Amino acid sequence: MTADVRKTKKIDIKKVVNLVPVIVIIALMIIFSFLSPAFIRFRNLVEILQLSSIYLLIAAGVTFPILMGSIDLSITGIIVGSGVIAATIAPVGGLFTVFLILFIGLCLGLFNGLLVAKIKLPSFIVTLATNFIYCGIAVALTEGYNINIRSNFFSNISNGRMIPGIPNSIILAGVVYIVFVYLSEKTKTGRYIMAIGGKEDVAARMGINVAKYKIIAFALSGLLIGCGTLFLSARLGMASARLGSGYLFNTLIAVVVGGTALSGGVGGVRRTILGVLIITILENGMTLGGIDVRIQYMVKAVILIGSVFLISIPDRSRQDLMK
Partner 1 sequence: MKESVKRTTALMKYLPLILLVVVSLFFGILYPRFFSIKNVLNLIRQMSFLMIVSMGMTFIILMGSIDASVGANATFCGVIGALLAPYLGGGAIIIGILAGAGVGALNGTIVTKVKVPSFLVTLSLMGALDGAALLLMHSSPVNISNQTFLDFSNGSLLFSLPNVDLIPIIMIAVCYFVINKTAFGRSLYAIGGNEQATFYSGIRVRQIQIIAFMISGIMAGVAGCLQASMFEAACPYMGDALMMNSIAAVVIGGTQLSGGVGGPLRTVFGVVLIAIIGSGMNFMGVEPATRHIVTGAIMILAVSVNIDRSKMAYVK
Number of residues that bind partner 1 (CB under 8 A): 56
Which residue of 61, 69, 93, 275 would you call a contact of partner 1, by CB under 8 A?
Answer: 69
Q: Per-residue string for binding with partner 1, 208-247, x by CB under 8 A?
A: --x-------------------------------------
Which residue of 58, 60, 115, 254 would you call a contact of partner 1, by CB under 8 A?
Answer: 115
In sequence order, what are the beta bridge partners of 142?
none
Nearer to partner 1, 46 or 262 (CB): 262
Residue 308 interacts with partner 1 (CB under 8 A): yes or no: yes
Nearer to partner 1, 12 or 292 (CB): 292
Nearest to 112 by CA among 147, 143, 82: 82
Residue 298 interacts with partner 1 (CB under 8 A): yes or no: yes
* Least CB distance to partner 1 at residue 105 (A): 18
Residue 201 interacts with partner 1 (CB under 8 A): yes or no: yes
Check if the beta carbon of residue 208 is closer than 8 Å to that of residue 196.
yes
* Least CB distance to partner 1 at residue 248 (A): 8
Nearer to partner 1, 166 or 299 (CB): 299
Burial 104-120 (b: 16+ CB within 10 A, else e): bbbbbbbbbbbbbbeee
Compute the distance between CA of residue 25 and CA of residue 50 in angstroms, rounded to an integer. 17
- Which amino acid, 215? I
Which residue of 262, 277, 291, 315 would you call a contact of partner 1, by CB under 8 A?
Answer: 262
Compute the distance between CA of residue 215 and CA of residue 217 in angstroms, rounded to an integer. 5
Which residue of 126, 217, 230, 238 would you call a contact of partner 1, by CB under 8 A?
Answer: 126
Write out the residues near partner 1 by the rule CB under 8 A.
Answer: 68-71, 73, 115-117, 119-126, 128-133, 135-137, 139-140, 200-201, 204, 210, 249, 252, 262, 264, 292-298, 300-302, 304-305, 308-309, 312, 316, 319-323
